[in-house]
Structure 1
Amino acid sequence: MCKNTIQFQKGLGIMQFLANYGSEEQCENALSSWRWPDGFQCPKCGSRSFCKLHRKAEFQCNCCRCQTSLTSNTIFDSTKLPLATWFLGIYLVTQNKAGISCLTLHRQLGISYNAALRMKHKLMQVMMERDNSWQLSVLFRLMTPIGAESATEAAGAEAQRTKPPSWPQFRQMLITTLSSSRPKTQPIENCRFYPEKLSGALLLSGD
């Protein structure tokens, strides 16, 4: 049986995730490599000469003495939660296709409900901003209209929408349109279904 390559694509298992980001040191190293792939660079003067302070993940530029932290100007800025907790929260939020509630996040991470709520809101915000930065290169049409419960119902709605009206219905629509001060386009669109009947004599005679 042919499998959907998107649905069955290889993911990151929980054991592999914990092996890569299970400790605070691993998370700090990963974040540092993502933020400064070529090594630390001062955000103020651009110098690469720095010293590490005694405080956790604090750096000081040797040129301008600007101090910055690993989490500054990120979603982890000013957080009191360990990076390992944040990374696990990111994994739980992004791996569940149906989404995850704040209550479940609070229970699985062992943090307060308010902290789980703030974490989820921050993650959803950055995910939305990331998605909005991409634009579709092609237009596509939804096969299932909004509100349709199944593809069968959607197909029935599409067939009902494109089904031509009967000649008496179309004639009445045409008369109403011609007598209206604001004519509609629907009768004109349906004219292709009755080319042989569109004459003034037939219209007035009632055939």
Structure 2
Amino acid sequence: MQLYLQLPAVGVREAFPNEDVCRERLIDVRWPAGPECPMCRSDDVGFLETRRSYHCRACLTQFTVGSHTIFHRSRFSLVSWFTTAGDIIADAAFDADVYRLTVSDIQSRLATSHPAANRMAEIIRRDLMTADDSLMARCICTNERPAPPDGIEESGRSHYTWLNGQIIAHHGGAEAVHSIRSRPSSETA
């Protein structure tokens, strides 16, 4: 639920509309001090414009912004990864009784096979479970983590209730949340 409140106010699709914006965000999140080689950790790297990859001058390794991450060797665009992760976070923020994002929904949105959509969803969920170390969450969650008011212990029942109230307020009331949760997948794409 906390990740949902950290998503961009305009939505993931609008905040990260194309591959270049997603790539720049990933570069900023992965290498705040500038690109570094994933093999030797050297910051003496050059960029190969034609291949859209980096070249380490110390160990001669070539790598991309996605090398050695959850995006490594993926055939999906970063836009697909970012939007699917946003959808998974949004789905997890709401109760499961009305609408759940299924692998079939992801499959139809990405126009891919069911096993590929399932693998992507598993990778994203596994990455998001790593809490503060989640590369995906650091990429798409652009807002500060909401701090509970004094007297509410994090991870307790009262914290859950407070977060739920924040989500409802974020969407303009319980009716708005219900209409979002009960949307068919064709309307959310």
TM-score range relative to shorter protein = 0.5 to 0.7
Assess, with a 3 A threshold, how the Cα gap between structure 1 residues 120 and 47 changes in structure 2: closer, same or farther: same
Measured in 2, the distance between the counterparts of 1:82 and 1:104 equals: 17
Residue matched to 2:161: none
Look up the equivalent residue of 1:60 and give its one-letter code.
H
SS at match of 2:108: helix
Consecutive aligned runs of 4 or more in structure 1 exceeding 4 Å deviation: 8-11, 137-142
Look up the equivalent residue of 1:109 and give its one-letter code.
L
Look up the equivalent residue of 1:71 and give its one-letter code.
G
Query: Larger Rg: 1 or 2?
Result: 1
Residue matched to 1:115: 116
1:138 deviation in Å?
7.8
Residue matched to 1:185: none
Structure 2 counterparts to residues 153-172 of structure 1, below 5 A = none
- Cα RMSD of the aligned pairs, angstroms, is 3.2
Look up the equivalent residue of 2:108 and give its one-letter code.
R
Measured in 1, the distance between the counterparts of 2:16 and 2:59 equals: 33
Measured in 1, the distance between the counterparts of 2:133 and 2:37 equals: 29
Residue matched to 1:62: 57
1:128 deviation in Å?
2.4
Assess, with a 3 A threshold, how the Cα gap between structure 1 residues 115 and 56 changes in structure 2: closer, same or farther: farther
2:46 pairs with one of 51, 54, 61: 51
Residue matched to 2:72: 77
Look up the equivalent residue of 2:84 and give its one-letter code.
G
Calculate percent identity across the aligned residue pairs: 25
Q: Deviation per CA, 1:144-179, whole angstroms, max 9, x where unpaired?
A: xxxxxxxxxxxxxxxxxxxxxxxxxxxxxxxxxxxx
Asked whether the equivalents of residues 46 and 57 of structure 2 are also in contact (C-alpha less than 8 Å), the reply is: yes
Residue matched to 1:180: none
1:110 deviation in Å?
2.6
2:13 pairs with one of 15, 18, 27: 18
Residue matched to 1:101: 102
Give the TM-score, by structure 1 length: 0.54
Look up the equivalent residue of 1:23 and give its one-letter code.
N
Look up the equivalent residue of 1:108 and give its one-letter code.
R
